């Protein structure tokens, strides 16, 4: 199954909302009026796409088609292209679907360090395992560092995944300094010649200032072992959180300089439009997306495939 088909399945609930809210608005031969534009804007906002994006799209439709007899394809083509432009951003990401590592900033020499953070219960540890497997399939040697030292279960879970994946893991007893685990994980990657070190961190609410400061400390300690690291700070975001994702992205970015998102549980929400809001308002791109529960269910995010899947007929 290709990326488009996986995204189409994962976005089914979001698509259902759009169908329910806007399916009859742009039938062939209708005259586009303000009432239809207003209803369409409500439909876009209901997916948590954000008022800004929805308003921009409706303003363009108004300029192009208000008072005219419209053809559905003309309307949907404009909407698709506008959303793709928002998700692509300012050309800061090389979206190459042929290269699954294309959105990542890789170290020029030595190991690439990926710091992974997120709130409690977003599926962070599973997303790390999926990412490690994804990297392994691209020929990369991966070291994991179990930096969630507050929960023994988190260390056990990541250790289980490391065994299944056949990759090395750095652990320390419960209550250890998470920054020391991150440092040792980087050190292990250097000494063993690994290509990538993935650093897990404890789940934390973005409103807990002390824990957010600790995340900043981990970020700094990593840079002491490997100058310029972490090369990526990925926020795992539960797609079902909707607009709360904007707050998470803002606070985690302040603490750890988030460079991208791993979007989890996209298949469980009608709020898939949140990726548009975060990209437009925060400038943070989605880099990978979870489209199911299996270890292989992590895909390179593609703005074009995402939008095409969102507005596909079936």
CB 97 within 8 A of CB 302: yes
CB 270 within 8 A of CB 13: yes
- DSSP class of residue 212? H
Q: Using CA atoms, how far apart are residues 234 and 5, in angstroms rounded to an integer? A: 25
pLDDT of residue 65: 93
Helices (H), the chain: 3-10, 12-22, 34-45, 51-65, 72-88, 124-137, 152-165, 178-192, 209-225, 244-256, 274-282, 303-310
Q: Using CA atoms, how far apart are residues 46 and 27, in angstroms rounded to an integer? A: 21
Taking the model in full, what pTM does it have?
A: 0.87
Tell me which residue of 231, 282, 247 sits closest to 89, measured CA to CA.
Answer: 282
Predicted confidence pLDDT, tens digits, the chain (314 residues): 566 566 666 667 666 766 665 666 777 788 999 999 998 898 888 878 889 999 999 999 999 999 999 888 888 889 889 999 999 887 778 778 778 888 999 999 999 999 999 888 888 899 999 999 999 999 999 999 999 998 888 899 999 999 999 999 999 998 999 999 999 999 999 999 999 999 999 877 665 677 788 888 999 999 999 999 999 999 998 877 777 788 888 888 888 889 999 988 776 655 667 888 889 988 889 999 887 788 988 888 888 888 888 877 65
pLDDT of residue 94: 77
CB 116 within 8 A of CB 198: yes
């Amino acid at each position: 199954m290709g990326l488009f088909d996986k995204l189409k399945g994962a976005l089914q609930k979001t698509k259902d909302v759009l169908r329910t809210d806007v399916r009859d608005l742009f039938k062939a031969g209708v005259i586009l009026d303000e009432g239809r534009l207003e209803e369409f804007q409500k439909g876009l906002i209901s997916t948590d796409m954000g008022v800004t994006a929805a308003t921009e799209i409706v303003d363009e439709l108004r300029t192009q088609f208000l008072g005219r007899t419209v053809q559905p394809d003309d309307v949907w083509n404009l909407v698709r292209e506008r959303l793709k432009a928002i998700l692509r951003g300012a050309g800061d990401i090389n979206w190459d679907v042929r290269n699954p590592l294309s959105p990542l900033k890789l170290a020029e020499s030595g190991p690439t360090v990926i710091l992974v953070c997120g709130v409690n219960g977003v599926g962070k540890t599973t997303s790390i395992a999926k990412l490690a497997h994804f990297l392994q399939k691209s020929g990369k040697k991966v070291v994991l560092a179990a930096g969630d030292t507050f929960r023994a279960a988190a260390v056990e879970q990541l250790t289980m995944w490391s065994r299944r994946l056949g990759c090395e893991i750095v652990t320390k007893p419960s209550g250890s300094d998470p920054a020391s685990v991150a440092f040792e994980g980087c050190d292990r990657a250097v000494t063993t010649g690994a290509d990538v070190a993935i650093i897990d961190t404890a789940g934390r609410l973005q409103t807990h200032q002390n824990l957010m400061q600790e995340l900043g400390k981990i970020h700094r300690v990593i840079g002491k072992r490997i100058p310029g690291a972490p090369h990526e700070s990925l926020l795992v975001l539960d797609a079902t959180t909707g607009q709360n994702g904007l707050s998470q992205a803002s606070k985690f970015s302040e603490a750890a300089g988030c460079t991208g998102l791993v979007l989890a549980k996209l298949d469980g929400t009608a709020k898939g439009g949140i990726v548009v809001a975060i990209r437009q308002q925060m400038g943070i791109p989605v880099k990978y997306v979870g489209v199911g529960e299996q270890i292989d269910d992590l895909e390179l995010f593609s703005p074009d495939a995402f939008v095409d899947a969102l507005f596909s007929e079936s």
